[in-house]
Amino acid sequence: MRYYINIGTNLGDLGANVARAVAEIRARLGVAVRESAPVYSEAWGYESEHGYMNVGAAFDTEECPVAVLRELRGIEVAMGSASHRNADGSYADRIVDIDVIAIDELEIDTPELTVPHPRMEQRDFVLAPLAELAPEWRHPVIGVTARELLERLSRGRDAADRP
């Protein structure tokens, strides 16, 4: 199965954080990892003085999705990001946040894992790396490609910016 993930960071040495996360994924899952170019953005869903660097990554493994998710969570904890939410449920700054965006064209909806990622269509910092790594990946629910999702988001933002 091909996994598409997004690695985000906004604290410390952003490049080193992503490099460490990718190295941990390679080591823990025993996989080759392809990375996208970084995408820089402001915090999404909360106010922060720290901007984000996000990198998409793709790798193949036959490990089950829940096992992969648990390894990714283990990497977050090992790197010092125990939670990406504050006690009140709001988002928090973090050393690393690793989200599973998609797995092939599977649809999974469990309490532990939802793929495709339920808010991916709202986040250009997720769609741009995914479109770079897999422009023809097709969303299994809405039937459009990663490239088309990014174009839709860009058009919507352009329209909102016009008077």
Residue ranges per structural domain of the chain: 2-118
pLDDT in tens, 47-60: 899 999 999 999 99
Decide if 100 contacts 115 (C-beta within 8 A). yes
Residue 25's contacts (CB-CB under 8 Å, 6 or more residues apart) are 5, 31, 33, 57, 59, 71, 72, 75
Tokens 């003085």: give the residue: 49
Tell me how many degrees the CA angle 125-34-85 measures, rounded to the nearest 5: 40
Asked if 29 and 61 count as a contact pair (C-beta separation under 8 A), the reply is yes
Tell whether the model's pLDDT for residue 45 goes beyond 90. Answer: no
Average pLDDT of the chain is 92
pTM of the model: 0.91
Check residue 82 and give its pLDDT.
62
Summarize pLDDT for 111-133 with one digit per residue, the tens.
Answer: 999 999 999 999 999 999 999 99
CATH code of domain 2-118: 3.30.70.560
Q: How many Cβ atoms are within 10 Å of 109's Cβ, its own excluded?
A: 10
Q: How far apart are CA 4 and CA 154, in angstroms?
A: 21
| Residue 96 · residue 73 · CB < 8 Å | no
Q: Rounded to whole angstroms, how far apart are CA atoms 34 and 152? A: 25
Residues 6 or more apart from 61 whose CB is under 8 A from it?
1, 3, 29, 30, 31, 68
Q: 154: closest CA among 118, 122, 117?
A: 122
Residue 67 has pLDDT above 70, yes or no: yes
